[in-house]
Amino acid sequence: MYAWSDSDSINLVCLKKWHETPDTVSFELGSIPQDLHFNFKPGQFITLGLDMPTKTDYRAYSIASCPEDNRLKLTVKRVEGGLVSNFIVDELDEGDEVAVLKPAGGFNCIDCTPTTSNKVTLVSAGCCITPVMAMVKYWLSQDSGVEIDFIHMARNKRETIYFEELHQLDETYSNFNLKLLLKDNQGTTAPQGRLDNNWLVSLSPDILDRTVYLCGPVGFMQDIESYLKELEFNMDNFYQESFTPATQNAQSEEPQTEIADNENSVVKVFVPTFGKEVEAEAGTPLADSLEQAGVPIITACRSGICGSCKCKVTKGSVESSSQETLTAEEIEQGYVLACSSTIQSDIEVEL
């Protein structure tokens, strides 16, 4: 079993690649010739380092396979303007090597075990199906007896990732109940309805007795969370993860007054260790400015989840929307996640 250290990365080979949907590919990474198994918790993600034409870029992707498999399966969707995702979809070939960093992420079924009973409801949409699919495979392969209601939303059959696999699981396991909701209603396996709390109950009638795991685009997740609250669901039994870019999260929230006050003002970002200084508009994501300065920062998830962009602000102020992987001590010392922090004044940063 291969276990990464914190700073370690391993080069793995793309052993197989195929299309799941017209704009989504899956691929399997493995080791040659050792045939290693990999130590991770179902639901976690890994960070890939890919040699792009000008530099190595890093991105985090959820693992869709189980720890018992000797290959890591990842599923990646084409994203408008997405440099790395689109490179994987278009350019990554079988036989190519990829650097793989340590798996991470608290949204997994080992740290987030079903809390009340052995019943769970998994809710996902689009390509955010991958971490919950890993959890499903783990529970089913372990013969855990976990009773799974699996609610997934997609546009249509053609664009449903793992369509055949989901139906196979539904036919094979009596404790796996698929509620596939397709917008065009062709091949759907659950009652269509208006997305609200009643609809949620119609899909998973004893949802109040279950543990809920949610992964999807930010608006979808906000809706589901608010319906659960309307149902007076015990939120101690609720786990979620979103890979929506932090800047997009920030846009969906109330604008910060400080940003509004500083609007159009130009601030300076100074990184003394590298002797670099750049200018940016107040409110710019810190990660963007550091990348523009050309300092070596890894922004693997850009969602405030993976912690790869951690840096220390020693002077000036930023506004942070996520401190997910930081300890109280690190926050006290001035550490921030660059992808989830916007610049509010002239600042000095240590990497």
Rounded to a whole number of angstroms, the minimum distance from the CB of residue 340 to ligand FES is 6
Task: Name residue, tokens 């991470």.
Answer: 104
Buried b (16+ CB within 10 A) or exposed e, 76-93: bbbeeeeebbbbbbeebe
**Pick from 216, 207, 210, 205: nearest CA to 152:** 216
Draw the binding track, 179-198, toward ligand FES (x: CB under 6 A; -: no contact).
Answer: --------------------
Rounded to a whole number of angstroms, the minimum distance from the CB of residue 132 to ligand FES is 20
Task: Please check whether residue 15 is in contact with residue 99, taking contact to mean a CB–CB distance below 8 angstroms.
Answer: no
Rounded to a whole number of angstroms, the minimum distance from the CB of residue 271 to ligand FES is 17
> Which residues in 250-309 contact ligand FES (CB under 6 A)?
299-302, 304-309
Q: Closest CB to ligand FES among 169 and 339?
A: 339
Burial of 223 (0-12, 13-18, 19+ CB in 10 A): middle
Q: Closest CB to ligand FES among 211 and 299?
A: 299
Tokens of 149: 């209601």
How far is the C-alpha of 16 from the C-alpha of 36, rounded, in Å?
Answer: 16
Q: Closest CB to ligand FES among 48 and 300?
A: 300
Tokens of 180: 């596939």
Rounded to a whole number of angstroms, the minimum distance from the CB of residue 47 to ligand FES is 8
Rounded to a whole number of angstroms, the minimum distance from the CB of residue 301 to ligand FES is 4
114 contributes a contact to ligand FES by CB under 6 A = no
Q: Closest CB to ligand FES among 203 and 337?
A: 337
Structural Rg of the chain based on CA atoms: 21
131 contributes a contact to ligand FES by CB under 6 A = no
The count of residues interacting with ligand FES (CB under 6 A) is 12
Q: Closest CB to ligand FES among 30 and 105?
A: 105
Rounded to a whole number of angstroms, the minimum distance from the CB of residue 174 to ligand FES is 39
Task: Please check whether residue 291 is in contact with residue 307, taking contact to mean a CB–CB distance below 8 angstroms.
Answer: no
Q: Closest CB to ligand FES among 265 and 327?
A: 327
Q: Closest CB to ligand FES among 26 and 308?
A: 308
DSSP structure class, residue 54: S
**Pick from 312, 316, 311, 310: nearest CA to 345:** 316
> Which residues in 324-343 contact ligand FES (CB under 6 A)?
337, 339
Task: Please check whether residue 122 is in contact with residue 148, taking contact to mean a CB–CB distance below 8 angstroms.
Answer: yes
What amino acid occupies position 49? G
Phi, psi of 288 (to 5 degrees): -60, -45
Rounded to a whole number of angstroms, the minimum distance from the CB of residue 300 to ligand FES is 5
Helices in the chain by DSSP H: which ranges?
A: 83-90, 130-141, 163-172, 197-203, 218-230, 246-252, 257-262, 286-293, 328-333
Q: Closest CB to ligand FES among 44 and 308?
A: 308
320 contributes a contact to ligand FES by CB under 6 A = no
Rounded to a whole number of angstroms, the minimum distance from the CB of residue 187 to ligand FES is 35
Binding site for ligand FES (CB under 6 A): 299-302, 304-309, 337, 339
